[in-house]
Structure 1
Amino acid sequence: MEKLMFLTKFLRSPRNIGSVTPSSRFLAKAMVKPVDWDSAKHVAELGAGTGVFTKHIDQLRSPDCKVVVFEQDRSMRKRLEHLYPELYYHHDACDITSAMKQYGINQFDYILSGLPFTNFPQELRDEIMDEVERALKPGGTFVAFQFSLQMKKQLAERFGDISLEFVPMNVLPAFVYRCKKTK
């Protein structure tokens, strides 16, 4: 059912969805691996889709970790709200700082992203990345996957410490960027 929902959404709006199928469990594990779940108090997920990463985040987070899930598609967001009612939800990744105020969060320890940046115009990429930079605490980590290395230069300009992991066991194989905010 989840795969069918994802495919339908992709066919209607390929620029916003970015893939024909949800991410694999291998990619999901690579995305949540950089998070220190014992100390994380505030985590955001951008572009949650059907909730492949959300499921892992919900299972791994400590009871006092506040998680805000950003998903633009209303039906996908409502589905996630039903599946993971203890998390917080917002519709627009361009509005991270506003959502933080709404939920009483000063800064995020980690922001995980499944957004298809390569499908977005540069202006939208910049707007989202400006929000990510403002929202992350110093020493915080931005984790994002992409199907190419197109974002590497832009992320290197924003973050002092970047590492990459290649995840071949996914349709399509993906790169996981781990970007630490140094200032």
Structure 2
Amino acid sequence: MTEVTLFLREYAKTRRDVGAIAPSSARLCRALTRYMIPNPGRSRAVLEVGPGTGAVTRYITGSLGRLDTLDLIEANPRFAALLRHTYDGDPRLRIRTGLIQEHDLGSYDTIVCGLPFANFDARTTEEIFDRLLRSLRPGGTLSFFGYIGGDTIRRTLVDGAERERTLVGLGVLRRILHRHTFRTETVLGNLPPARVHHLAPVNPPAHPESAHSCDCRETSP
């Protein structure tokens, strides 16, 4: 079974948990790994949460040094099995199955997250971001994405208690972004178009070129 076939099958079965409707494009992968900056002086520790079939993982492993490490946490056991098969024998990778809330985290230089936060309630969103941000080393970054227009579509499709749950969850997400975001990129070359948010756990941000959020459109191929 191909990665795309597996992805589409799992999306049809568990779309609330998968979130995405297609594997991440090359442009989205580049944006998500923007702050995986090489450091010849020491090893780097990277965490990817929700790698799915591994589209972004390939970009991460492509820039890993011999002494760098990559932890993958994937809730879907079929996706996790695919990742284990793909990276069997690579000592730099550790693949764990389950929710991020179920695992003890280390400390990381870079965290890349593919979780569908628009589908989560407020408490889950707060808990996950708190754990991720507290797991960053000084100067570390957390990058994740959301689809353009996704919030509006989700508010339109639900009503009653589910709509209230969605609105509260999105409000929490906006507050987290306002507090921690140092850069936002718009990636049009993805299905659907997406925004990538780069976060840091401290103020002022770790990267001086981004003292405020920006809307940076990636146009390179």
TM-score range, shorter chain: 0.7 to 0.9
Separation of aligned partners in 2, 1:19 and 1:178: 19
User: Among 80, 93, 102, which residue is 2:100 paired with?
Assistant: 93
| Residues in 2 aligned to 1:63 and 1:79: alpha-carbon distance in whole angstroms | 23
Stretch of structure 1 that moved more, 69-78 or 146-155: 146-155
Q: How does 1:8-27 map to 2 (within 5 A)?
A: 8-27=9-28
SS of residue paired to 2:48 = strand
Contact 1:38–1:62 (CA under 8 A) maintained in structure 2:
no
Task: Provide the C-alpha distance between the structure 2 equivalents of 1:118 and 1:124, rounded to a whole number of angstroms.
Answer: 11
The answer as to whether partners of 1:136 and 1:181 remain within 8 angstroms in 2 is: yes
- Contact 1:58/1:84 (8 A) holds in 2: no
The reply on whether 1:156 has 2:178 as its aligned counterpart is yes
2:68 is aligned with 1:62:
no
* 1:1-150 equivalent positions in 2, closer than 5 A: 1-38=2-39, 41-85=44-88, 86=90, 87-91=93-97, 92-96=99-103, 98-100=104-106, 107-148=107-148
CA contact (8 A) 1:137 1:181 kept: no
TM-score (norm 1): 0.88
Mapped to 2, the partners of 1:31 and 1:112 lie a distance apart of 7
Find the residue that maps to 2:185 and give its secondary structure. Answer: strand
Question: For residue 167 of structure 1, what is the aligned residue in structure 2?
Answer: 187
Q: Please tell me whether residue 181 in structure 1 is matched to residue 198 in structure 2.
A: no
Using the alignment, how far apart are the partners of 1:179 and 1:154 within structure 2?
9
8 Å CA contact retained: 1:90, 1:99: no
SS across alignment from 1:37: coil
Greater C-alpha Rg: 2
Task: Give CA-to-partner distance per residue, 1:121-178, whole Å, 9 cap, x none.
Answer: 1111111111102211122100111114753432223x2x521000000001000111
- Decide whether the 8 Å contact of 2:147 with 2:194 is kept in 1: yes
Question: What is the aligned-residue RMSD (CA, Å)?
Answer: 1.7
How many angstroms apart in 1 are the aligned matches of 2:8 and 2:70?
26
Give the drift of 1:99.
4.1
**Which deviations, in whole Å up to 9, do the C-alpha atoms of 1:56-108 show, x marking residues without a partner?**
11111111111100101111111101112321012222245x143xxxxxx11
Change (3 A) 1:137 1:131: same
168-177 or 120-129, larger mean C-alpha shift: 120-129
Measure the CA separation in 1 of the matches of 2:133 and 2:200.
10
Q: Could you tell me the percent identity over the aligned residues?
A: 28
> What is the distance in 2 between the residues matched to 1:167 and 1:108?
25
In structure 1, list runs of 5 or more residues that go unmatched. 101-106
The count of corresponding residues between Structure 1 and Structure 2 is 174
1:103 maps to none
